[in-house]
Each structure stands twice: as C-alpha cells, then as structure tokens.
Amino acid sequence: MNNNEHLTKRRGMTAEDLLRLRSVRDPHYAPDGTRVVFVEKSIDEENQYRSHLYMWTKDGAVRPWTFGPWRDTKPRFSPNGETIAFLSDRSGRTQLWLLPTDGGEARQLTFFKNGVRDYVWSPDGTFLIALTTLGDDETIEDREEPEKAEVKRADLKPRVVERLYYKSDAAGFLDGKRAVLARIDALSGKIEALTGREEEIGSFAISPNGRTLAFVANRNEDPDTTFTRDIILLDLEKKTEMNLTNGCGTFASLGWSPDGMKLAAIGHDLAYLGATIHRLYVFELERQTKRVLTADWDAHLGDAMVGDTHADAKSPGPIWASDGSGLYVTASERGRVNVYFVSLDGPIAPVVEGDFHLYGFTVHPNGRQAVAAISSPTSIGDLYAVSLADGTKTRLTRANEALENEVVFADAKPFTYQSTDGWEIQGWIMKPPELGEGEKAPLVVEIHGGPHAMYGFTFFHEWQLLASRGYAVLFTNPRGSHGYGQSFVNAVRGDYGGMDYEDIMAGVNAALNRFDFIDKERLGVTGGSYGGFMTNWIVGHTDRFKAAVTQRSISNWLSFSGVSDIGYFFTKWEIGCDVWEDAERLWHHSPLKYVQNIRTPLLILHSERDYRCPIEQAEQLFIALKRLGRETKLVRFPDANHDLSRTGSPALRLERLRHIVGWFDHYLKGPFG
C-alpha cells in the first residue's frame, strides 16, 4: 500500500473529535522505581471533564487505578511507596485523599471548607502539608459544606470591595480569602495551621530532614502593586520564619537538594517586568549565598507553549539529580519544550531534545532514566521512557491510539523568514492532508495570546480541524514571544501593533512566496487574547483578509486598564503608561480607534465571565461595527472565562469551533469566498 492509499483510508479531524481526546499527564515514579502513577484527562459521555489515575508497571502493563465521575489529579507516592496521595473532587470540593497501593478504597484525609489547592508529603510520610484558603470569619476547623444549588434573592448581599486586586479570571471574586498552609497527620487527619496572615502563597517544599518548610509568598506591605514573591523558610518545630530573598525577585517551583543544604527555585528579578525570562536560582543556606545558574543562557525556563489539549497540565519544576550535582529543567526554545541538565559547576546540556512539546517529567530514583509526557503536531501525547544518557525514547502509553489510527493529521513544517527590519522570525505551515496536486487552499493565520508565550511543536486540535476542512494554517512567533531570548520577548512592550504586526504580515508574505498551494485571494486570520487584539489591529490596518475571527480580545486599552483583573498593572507594563499619564498613547494602541477602517467581515467570540479581557471589550467593538454597517456577529458564551478554548465547557468549546469554521467556510469557501 502506498502512502496516498493509506491516507485515503483515514478521515479528517472533526470538531466532535475534541470529545475523544485524552491528555496523559503528570507522571510520578514510585520510590523503588518499579511503577509510575499518572493522570489521564478525558471527556465523558455527558460532556464533562474527568481525570483518573493510571499505573504503569515495569512489566509494561498500564492499568486504571481510579474510576468514577470525578477529577482525580496530582498523584504522589508516599516515601515508603505504600500509599498514593491525590487530589479529588469526589466529595464536592477538591480535597486530599489517600489510596493504598496494594488495593482498597480511597480515604478522604481533608475536609477543608474551601478545599485543597496543592500539597506535599513529608520525607518520612507521617504528615502532609496542604494549601487551602480561609475567609475572614472562617477557621481551619470549618468543614466542607454541600454547594448551594441556588441563592435565594432574600439572601443576596452586596459585595464590598476595598482591595485593588479583588477578582481573578481563574478564581472569580476573591472575597477576602487568604491562603493558609496546614499540617495534616497522615493517620489521624489531625490538622494544624502553619500560616495565617493575609497573603498569596505559591510553591512550597519540605526539607529532607522534615524540619523546614520553604514556601513562596508576597510579603509586601502593598501586595496588589508590588510584584516580588519571596521565599520564606518556616521552622516546623520552633514556628519561626526567615525571609530568604527579601524582595530581590519573584520566585516559584521550589526544590530542596538531596542533602538539604541548598534550595532551588525558578524566578527572575522583574528587570523586564512581565516579559522577563525565567532563570534557575540556587540558594546555599549555610553560606547565605544566591547563584543564578542560567545567567548566561538566554532561554526561558518552564513551559511557554500555547495549545488546546494539554494547556492545564502543570509543568514540572526543577528536579535535583540524586547525587546533588545539578538539576533537570524544562526550557522553551524555538517552538520546542525540552529537558536540560544544569550542572552546579559545569555546562548546561540537553538530555531530552527534539521537535516536540515535553509537558510532564519524572526522574527514576537511579538517576539513569526518566518518564516524559510528550506531544507533537501529529501525536496527541503519551508517556515515554527516556534514557538520560543518550535520550533514546520508548513509548509506554497509547491513550489516543484508536483516534490516531482513524484520523489523518496535518504536519507542521517549520520555516524562518525575515521581518521588515531584518529580524528573523520562526513560523510553521500546515498543508491540508487531502489537498490534491495543483489545488489551492485558503489560508488561516493563527496568532497566539500572551503575548509572552509560544507556538510550536505540539498537538493542536483546532488547527487539525481547520486543515481537515481544507485550510492551510500559518502560525508564527512574532517578537514578544518566548523561545528566542530576552531581547526578543521584551521587544513588543510599548510597541503593540508596531513591529509585531510587521512580523506577522511578513510571515504571510513569506508563506505565499514559499508555498504554492496557498490561495492568496482567500486569507483569514484569528487569535485570542493578545491574538484577538492583533486580529482587531490587523483588520483595522489592512483589507488583505477576507474573513477574521477575534476571540477574548482587547479593543480599548483605556477601559481595559480599569476592568481587567490584571489591567491595572498590565496596561502600564505592556503599553507604557496609565490612563491619567497618557490617555492618547493608550488610544493610539487601541484597535477601536481604527474601527472605521475595518471592512473585513469580523466574527467576535467572547466569554461572559472573562475577567482577564472582560466582555465589554467585545461589546464596544461590536456596537461600533454595527453602527458603521459592517459585516459582524457577536457570539457570547455564558458561564465561561478567558480559558474557554482550552479548559471551558466541552459543549461550549464545540460551539466555538463550529462558529469559527462556519465563518471561514462562508467567507473563504462560500459565495463570498
């Protein structure tokens, strides 16, 4: 059978295939290295997200470990390997549960009123530290209550706001809740609050001797306007604290060295505010010294990849080698997320490298091998055993095998081109897999959000859907993107709609010149968040595109600065001023200023509970276009936030995809195309 015959036996990707995607993630080795527990996230028959624990054993078997209509996440073996702790919403709120590895029922360990956000085991396995939240009148002993199905009108009360930061796109209205770390006895469930002040708490880790808890917190007098995050050391016996960093930067992803003498963290000094690349720090506690191990490596540590399949998979933090000689870290470079080994006293070397997106990682106790979760444009994502000596990989799971055998995928071909000022930009082109010889395909340009994020070598259902519908897909990383060094990611600040616009349009020109299967007369453009801003900007500055879809966008920086959960600082960070300092500058960078120039049919998609880019941004643009008599439509998604396309209701995600495809089909392939 030749390759073309093989392709004809497969069909194209559909919107409904979204419901069949399985995301394999968060692998974690057992202490003896014979087993790996991991999570498989899926969508059930009722279009609800579910996630269950699975176990891989050294004989190659993969077995489901939990069942039911729940979301079970973050499994971690106890130090003796006899118990798995995990988070689950099976009681209503997300709580901490314990499951024997030799069989038996899971046991609920915490009953916190507001649930558990994260946890860690103690080194001896006798207790765990969990992160929860408490309201003003709540205590650590208050127990979880059933969710109220409906709030009666008589019970409604006004929400009194005094803080600048009072809402979050992810969490909604914060209502004065403070983060609290608590110690929980693994046998009795007895709890003890370890912190209590009003503060945000991030990463936390217990020292190997079990005596010191390191955690990240904002200890500034005005935490809403000061963005450093300090590392606090808490003596668990004496209950005394020491601030290790004293406002020198913002830190996350803590990890103790095996001997307990050093503490690693991912962080930066805010030199370029939100565009500062992340680096690896190591603190030597006895000497009270700080080293930046990646100071000379112009790479962003962590996972900056944008996608719609593994977007909520948590990137692994720095992992110490068993001998303490260095650390394994993930880094985002040129559209790839790979693993590198950073030696304490030597070079930085790749250990798991390739054109793929590595979004999960765990190291075997022997230090010679690892298990990684890996995705690529034509592989949805699976676990692989990896040799840390030579990087060879062996596939362990086949979570999406049935779908991958049924559907033909479009590959993403990378290429580079020069922008109008000579800067090198990276892009990718996806050719419709069933496009015949000599046929032309309409082109859809995709623009990522952030803007400090990255497109690259990962599986993207939306793009496969467009390719299956006969569209070529172009995606690029214009300046402002991660993956190309500090100067590149910082270059967009203060220049939104400037050279970033030139980078994207130069990419369109380069694609038209290089790939003869693109129909230059049928061009479409879409993007979300910053990508929505840029979509709005593009159609206000050129008529080259026959159709556009703007999603969760920014149209007016003047209002955005006061309504977004991050607008009060992000606007100045990215555009360069506050509204009272230079309103004209904000208006200059607002796509709404150029609305009279928009002739391209524009579909506007927006979530009604989006606090990042509130829906008034879409409403202003829609009303202006309607008053001007332009071709437009506004689609509002109820009870959805900024992450609709990635983690929103599956039913609404399907509706979103259908609207996007329908709009492009009508204007690029229908009577207007």
Helix 461-468 vs helix 650-664: crossing angle, to nearest 10: 40
* CB-based contact 24:359 (threshold 8 Å): no
E strands, 285-440, where?
A: 289-292, 300-301, 319-320, 326-333, 336-343, 348-352, 357-363, 369-376, 379-387, 393-395, 412-418, 424-430
**CB-neighbour burial class of residue 585 (10 A; exposed 0-12, middle 13-18, buried 19+):** middle
* CB-based contact 636:655 (threshold 8 Å): no
Residue at 115 is within a domain: yes
Q: What is the pLDDT of residue 1?
A: 40
* CB-based contact 321:327 (threshold 8 Å): yes
The distance of Cα 170 from the centroid of its chain, to the nearest Å, equals 12
Q: Catalytic residue numbers?
A: 529, 642
Backbone angles phi, psi at 544, to 5 degrees: -65, -30
Residue the block writes with tokens 């565009």 = 275
E strands, 552-658, where?
A: 602-607, 632-637
The residue type found at 47 is: N
Q: What is the pLDDT of residue 656?
A: 98
Residues of the chain short of pLDDT 50, as ranges, are 1-3, 5-7
Give the global pTM: 0.95
Residue at 107 is within a domain: yes
CATH number at residue 28: 2.120.10.30
Residue at 417 is within a domain: no
Sign of the torsion angle spanned by Cα atoms 590, 596, 600, 606: positive
Cα–Cα separations (whole angstroms), residue 6 to 56, 403, 409: 32, 15, 12
Residue at 126 is within a domain: yes
How many alpha carbons lie under 13 Å from residue 45 in its C-beta half-sphere? 1
Q: Radius of gyration (Cα) for the chain, nearest Å?
A: 25
* CA–CA dist 227, 247 (Å, integer): 9
Q: What is the pLDDT of residue 294?
A: 97
* CB-based contact 370:389 (threshold 8 Å): no
Q: How many CB atoms lie within 10 A of CB 52?
A: 21
Q: Which residues of 6-29 are buried (b: 16+ CB within 10 A; e: fewer)?
A: eeeeeebbbbebbbbbbbbbbbbb
> H or E segment at 62?
strand 62-64
CA angle 163, 167, 169 (to 5 degrees): 155
> What one-character-per-residue DSSP string does 490-532 give?
HTTTT-TTTHHHHHHHHHHHHHHHH-TTEEEEEEEEEEETHHH
Interstrand relation of 348-352 and 83-88 (parallel, antiparallel or unpaired): unpaired
> H or E segment at 29?
strand 23-29
Q: What is the pLDDT of residue 661?
A: 98
Q: What is the pLDDT of residue 136?
A: 82
* CB-based contact 319:361 (threshold 8 Å): yes
Q: What is the pLDDT of residue 673?
A: 62
Interstrand relation of 369-376 and 379-387 (parallel, antiparallel or unpaired): antiparallel
Residue at 478 is within a domain: yes
DSSP state of 245: S
Sign of the torsion angle spanned by Cα atoms 502, 507, 509, 510: positive
Q: Is 447 helix (H, G, I), strand (E, B) or coil?
A: strand
* CA–CA dist 204, 122 (Å, integer): 12
Q: How many CB atoms lie within 10 A of CB 147?
A: 7
* CB-based contact 400:381 (threshold 8 Å): yes
* CA–CA dist 125, 98 (Å, integer): 12
* CA–CA dist 437, 434 (Å, integer): 9
Cα–Cα separations (whole angstroms), residue 550 to 60, 439, 524: 46, 28, 11
The answer for residues whose C-beta is within 8 angstroms of residue 276's C-beta and 6 or more apart is 268, 269, 270, 486, 490
Structure tokens at 407: 């559907």
* CB-based contact 353:364 (threshold 8 Å): no
> What one-character-per-residue DSSP string does 541-568 give?
T----SEEEEES----HHHHHHHSTTHH
Nearest one of 303, 360, 362 to 335, comparing CA atoms: 303
Residue at 575 is within a domain: no
Q: What is the pLDDT of residue 672?
A: 63
State the total domains in the chain.
Answer: 2
**CB-neighbour burial class of residue 436 (10 A; exposed 0-12, middle 13-18, buried 19+):** exposed
Cis amide leading into 69 (omega within 30): no
Interstrand relation of 35-43 and 49-57 (parallel, antiparallel or unpaired): antiparallel
CA angle 666, 671, 673 (to 5 degrees): 65
Residue at 44 is within a domain: yes
* CA–CA dist 138, 461 (Å, integer): 43
* CB-based contact 182:193 (threshold 8 Å): yes
The answer for residues whose C-beta is within 8 angstroms of residue 149's C-beta and 6 or more apart is none
Nearest one of 36, 13, 17 to 26, comparing CA atoms: 36
Beta bridge partners of 528: 551
Q: Is 84 helix (H, G, I), strand (E, B) or coil?
A: strand
CATH number at residue 478: 3.40.50.1820
Domain housing 451? 424-555+590-641
Note every long-range contact of 44-49, with CB atoms under 8 Å and residues 24 or more positions apart, other chains counting: 44/69, 47/19, 47/649, 47/650, 47/651, 48/650, 49/647, 49/650
Q: Is 442 helix (H, G, I), strand (E, B) or coil?
A: strand
Residue at 13 is within a domain: no
